[in-house]
Structure 1
Amino acid sequence: MAEGIKLEQKHGKSRVRVARVWRNVNGGSSDVIVEWKVGISLLSDCLPAYASGDNSAIVATDTMKNTVYVKAKECSEVVAVEDFAIVLGKHFTSFYPQVSGAIIKIIEKPWERVVVDGRPHEHGFKLGSEKRTTKVTVKKCGSLEVESGLEEFALLKTTKSGFERFVRDKYTILPDTRERMLATEISAFWRYDLKSVAEISEKSISFSEIHSEVKNLLASTFFGPANGGVYSPSVQNTLFLMGKAVLNRFSRVASIHLRMPNIHFLPVNLRGRDNQIIVQFADDVYTPTDEPHGTIEATLTRASSKL
Structure 2
Amino acid sequence: MAKELEGFNFEQRHGKARVRVGRVWRSKDGCRHFMVEWNVNISLLSNCVAAYVRDDNSDIVATDTMKNSVYVKAKECSEQLSAEEFAILLGKHFTSFYPQVFTAIVKIVEKPWERISVNGQPHEHGFKLGSEKHTTEAIVQKSGVLQLTSGVEGLSLLKTTQSGFEGFIRDKYTALPETRERMLATEVTASWRYSYESVSSIPQKSLYLNEQYLNVKKALVDAFFGPPERGVYSASVQSTLLQMAKAVLGRFSDISSVKLKMPNIHFLPVNISSKDHGSIVKFDDDVYLPTDEPHGSIEASLSRFWSKM
The answer to whether structure 1 residue 6 and structure 2 residue 9 are counterparts is yes
**SS of corresponding position for 1:277:** strand
CA apart distance, 1:203: 7.8
Alpha carbons 2:82, 2:209 under 8 Å: kept: yes
Consecutive unaligned residues of structure 1, counting only runs of 5 or more, are none
The answer to whether structure 1 residue 71 and structure 2 residue 63 are counterparts is no
The answer to whether structure 1 residue 19 and structure 2 residue 22 are counterparts is yes
Structure 1 residue corresponding to 2:184, chosen from 159, 182, 185: 182
Alpha carbons 2:138, 2:147 under 8 Å: kept: yes
- Taking a change above 3 Å as real, the CA distance of residues 205 and 118 of structure 1, as seen in their structure-2 partners, is closer
CA apart distance, 1:282: 0.9
- Taking a change above 3 Å as real, the CA distance of residues 205 and 34 of structure 1, as seen in their structure-2 partners, is closer
CA apart distance, 1:23: 1.2
CA apart distance, 1:274: 3.0
CA apart distance, 1:150: 0.3
Q: Which residue in the other structure is 1:296 paired with?
A: 298
Q: Which amino acid aligns with 1:103?
A: I
Q: Distance in 1 between matches of 2:205 and 2:6?
A: 47
Q: Which residue in the other structure is 1:148 paired with?
A: 150
CA apart distance, 1:163: 0.4
**SS of corresponding position for 2:5:** coil
TM-score, with normalisation over the residues of structure 1?
0.96
Q: Distance in 2 between matches of 1:105 and 1:242?
A: 24
Instruction: Spell out the pairing of 1:1-307 with structure 2 (5 A cutoff).
Output: 1-24=4-27, 27=29, 29-200=31-202, 206-274=208-276, 276-307=278-309
CA apart distance, 1:28: 6.5
Give CA-to-partner distance per residue, 1:240-267, whole Å, 9 cap, x none: 1111011011000000001100000001
Q: Which amino acid aligns with 1:6?
A: N
Q: Which amino acid aligns with 2:10?
A: L
- Give aligned pairs, total: 306
Q: Which amino acid aligns with 1:138?
A: V
CA apart distance, 1:72: 0.2
- Taking a change above 3 Å as real, the CA distance of residues 23 and 200 of structure 1, as seen in their structure-2 partners, is same
CA apart distance, 1:133: 0.2
CA apart distance, 1:272: 2.7
Identity %: 63
Q: What's the Cα RMSD here?
A: 1.5
**SS of corresponding position for 1:6:** strand
**SS of corresponding position for 2:68:** helix
CA apart distance, 1:275: 5.9
Q: Which amino acid aligns with 1:199?
A: S
Q: Which amino acid aligns with 1:181?
A: M
Q: Distance in 2 between matches of 1:201 and 1:269?
A: 56
Q: Which amino acid aligns with 1:7?
A: F
Give CA-to-partner distance per residue, 1:99-119, whole Å, 9 cap, x none: 010000000000000011111
Q: Which amino acid aligns with 1:70?
A: V
Q: Distance in 1 between matches of 2:275 and 2:132?
A: 44
Q: Which amino acid aligns with 2:233?
A: Y
Q: Distance in 2 between matches of 1:149 and 1:178?
A: 32
CA apart distance, 1:199: 1.2
CA apart distance, 1:273: 4.9
